[in-house]
Chains A and B, each alone.
Chain A
């Protein structure tokens, strides 16, 4: 729709430090670059040191405004963008991305602007910081998946290690990275190391999906139909294949007996692993068992694009004809227990996530970039359709501990942060006051008492702040993962980005 142009809000994110870094007038002369590392003595140095050298070089010289540096993450035009937002309250008006009256939208925007202004006046904290805390690394492979390693229970540190998988390379890899030592940050946080590689291993076929089973094991879905568990040995920083289910997904070909079919989605709930594929098959594995525990052949006549757990025994799948299905794995019937669908256009759904606390709330992303919110307790259609990206939405994730926040990324090269936490204004917002360590604990507890903002039908309350975290990207953002205050995402431009202060 049309509010693209008028979406600047007065929040300080766009101005202030962001603009300064973006518009630095080129100094009159190009100072000396540091001499190139001619390194006979420094061979043993870790890779990070080179990055540091480059970093300091970058800071001294006029030339670089590289994604790795803070400057470019906040280009001159960066502003807080509020999306083309149109919710369709109530299941009756499903396909209403053009439907809801202007008045509703206008009111909502006015409310948001007001709030934004208040926010700008209130806290002097530089909102631009969020943009500047992004560190990037070009990795010479197209990234299809990025995943944080789960934190051990009662961990106090922010997440540090994440895994990536590549696609469309002749030689695809699974890589484990360290996001860079936060301890290196100066007092002003002026320097964050870029992510550095801990170890990697070759992978057959494109990495279609992956997920950590536990602290050490990652389950990887391949375009060859194979599902592999890799183990990350943290003592000596190596990766090895722990177990492999070859051709877990396959086509019964007319000519050959069996050809692999891409495994498009994987989800685990240790020790259970569920995979779905282009062959419309659903597999249930256990990490400790050699063969599949359960296989539903022909579970879907079209391609299954993604899967997630609804409860411990139930899973949700989305397919290429716009259906959301619930499968109860206790039932021996090879049929879904419920089918939900987008009415009308059968727009393929590419991703699905479930609200971490309120399990009846489900978000899906479609081929047209639309975000759909479903209440699986009622109806067969989405509760609201939110017009979002301009192309395929590849991933959607509720924030695991702060589910008022949602993140989506898309083929159009954007990554959106959907924030409903400011929704109920009478409640004190812990999130924007406390330090970042305290915010998460307090927020999740208070969440349960209220009706979720995601299902709210009340237009006066239904405010949502939407921020595009990547203003000028051109190539697809294939994957994102969010944990604590940290966000990691990977793109077709062969770069990975880590944002450590999402809620700064």
Chain B
């Protein structure tokens, strides 16, 4: 069913779509609504047994069909407004419903000999549009009392009894015919023949019946009302042969229905997959049949079973759609073997146009513990934010992904901006990092460094000094930043009050010497720069002075 939508002109770019029907606007309703039914079916795992379970499954099947019908109706409405391809779509939908209904009768409900014909009768009535009037004509004009009686009997009496009575009635009709009661009226005669199940007589009225299955059901009604499911295939085959009579070859639809009458479930699904331009039908029908436990024995030679294979195809189609991708997620979830892998591959390819969409995709991944995808989505969003100069957002995204490397990168950007501008941007974020600060060393440093600034701003100098020192001695600060930190210490050293203790001052001095001595490259570059050398000199001076003051102070305090 993969089809190509070609642009045959000079451009020669072909849009290949795996499931063309996905793009039909009016069908979106079908996809969305049936998604709900599908989910309901998956949830309703076999809590019910036996009969009620069957009733439940039949109800599900009817729900699916009613969605198809609703869609057809919408298309009729649309077609009323603008004539166009809608007609084709309606006919496809109606064929889908026709097949589904037959499958429902034969497979899901598995009607037994008596009710089977009733169901088939309903089925034909429902789908052959002008059958209503005809049925009325055929049924009501003849012997309505007998017919009513006949059908009422179906409910109360056993099959054998029914058959006896039917035969009795049958013989009565035959007698009428032989007696020539109706001889005067050829119409009445033929009606009587029809009632007797005379195939030739029925065939004569062929033009009244649009299809061979209509003929089949009519024939069954008048000649074999108690047909058993297994006998259907013979009647079906012969009906088709008789009806088409070699004039025309069977259409694909005929083949599908024939396969259904033959109880060849796999053949039905196979033919449908080939003929229909969507995966919706086969995926949902197969899933339903699977829940009826009708497909268990059948495993495909390529990995998963047929249900899963078809669901995967359908869901992949949904993912290729601009907006229906969300539905696909749930279908993948119910493919035990490959669903997860498919989802992982598809979800990464959903374009993330806004943060809100990204959040929705993220939620899908997080609910399913798809850590790899979570990381990649967050990274994409962080990169986008970074490109837009939204450092705060970028940091938020990398924190959500717990992406340490990226958090480090962004922290560096923040610090660089600070060195250039002398003030921090995005304070509201940095001040509120909380535990997420521990994600990366650089981020911790950023948070702590900002804390130092805050303490300093609040004139809590002693705490600020202690924090500043810890940043260096505990190696939280990157070496490249030490010079800035030491420069930050300058105003603290120059305060009227002594802030750094003697021990702390020694530590500061060691840091300074480590920086200048331990790193000759750095030293060279520092010496090149007059400003830097002056800075170092000033620092040394300030440290020495502070040391002198603190020794005096500590000495006096101890002495006194």
Contacts and interface: CB of A to CB of B under 8 A. Distances in A.
Interface of A: 25-26, 28-33, 35-39, 42-43, 47, 50, 53-54, 58, 61-67, 138, 140-142, 167-170, 206, 208, 223, 251-255, 259, 261-262, 264, 278-280, 298, 300-303, 320-323, 339, 341, 343-346, 348, 367, 391-392, 411, 472, 474-476, 492-495
Contacts of B115: 28-29
Nearest to B132: A35
Contacts of A302: 392-393, 396, 428-429
B393 A63 contact: no
Interface in B347-405: 353-357, 359-360, 363, 367, 387-393, 396, 399
Interface stretch (B28-36, B257-265, B459-467, B473-481): B28-36
Contact of B126 (A33, A43, A170, A252): A33
Contacts of B43: 472
B323 interface: yes
Nearest to B76: A37
A239 to B, nearest CB: 19
A278 B389 contact: no
B299 interface: no
Contact of A346 (B326, B367, B436): B436
B77 A47 contact: yes
A492 B326 contact: yes
Contacts of B65: 63
Contact of A493 (B36, B433, B434): B36
A140 to B, nearest CB: 4
Contacts, number: 199
Contacts of A62: 62
28 contacts: A29-B118, A32-B125, A35-B129, A50-B76, A64-B62, A66-B66, A66-B67, A66-B70, A223-B356, A252-B388, A252-B389, A262-B356, A278-B355, A279-B390, A303-B355, A303-B396, A320-B355, A320-B396, A344-B434, A346-B433, A346-B434, A346-B436, A392-B359, A392-B363, A472-B40, A472-B43, A474-B330, A493-B32
A58 B72 CA distance: 14
Q: How large is the interface on B (under 10, 10 to 19, 20 to 34, 35 or more residues)?
A: 35 or more
Contact of B28 (A39, A278, A472, A494): A494
Interface string B447-460: 00000000000000
A323 B76 contact: no
A278 B66 contact: no
Nearest to A28: B115
Contact of A26 (B58, B76, B425): B58
Contacts of B171: none
B390 A280 contact: yes
Interface in B21-39: 25-26, 28-29, 32-33, 35-36, 39
A203 to B, nearest CB: 14
B142 to A, nearest CB: 20
A33 to B, nearest CB: 6
Given A167-B356, A168-B322, 13 more contacts: A29-B119, A32-B126, A33-B69, A50-B73, A67-B36, A140-B25, A167-B357, A168-B353, A206-B353, A261-B388, A320-B396, A321-B432, A346-B432
A179 to B, nearest CB: 19
B360 A411 contact: yes
B149 interface: no
Residue with the highest number of chain A CB atoms closer than 10 Å, among B72, B125, B428: B428
B246 interface: no
- 5 closest Cβ contacts across the A-B interface? A301-B392, A301-B426, A251-B388, A64-B66, A63-B62
Contact of A321 (B322, B429, B435): B429
A492 B364 CA distance: 13
Contacts of B360: 411, 476, 492
A494 B318 CA distance: 14
Given A26-B62, A253-B387, A262-B354, A37 B77 contact: yes
Contact of A494 (B32, B69, B122, B330): B32
A264 B388 contact: no
Nearest to A262: B354
A324 to B, nearest CB: 12
A321 B59 CA distance: 47
B122 to A, nearest CB: 5
A80 B71 CA distance: 33
B20 interface: no
Contacts of B320: none
Nearest to A139: B29
A138 B435 contact: no
Given A223-B354, A494-B28, A494-B29, A25 B363 contact: no
B33 A67 contact: yes
Contacts of A255: 387
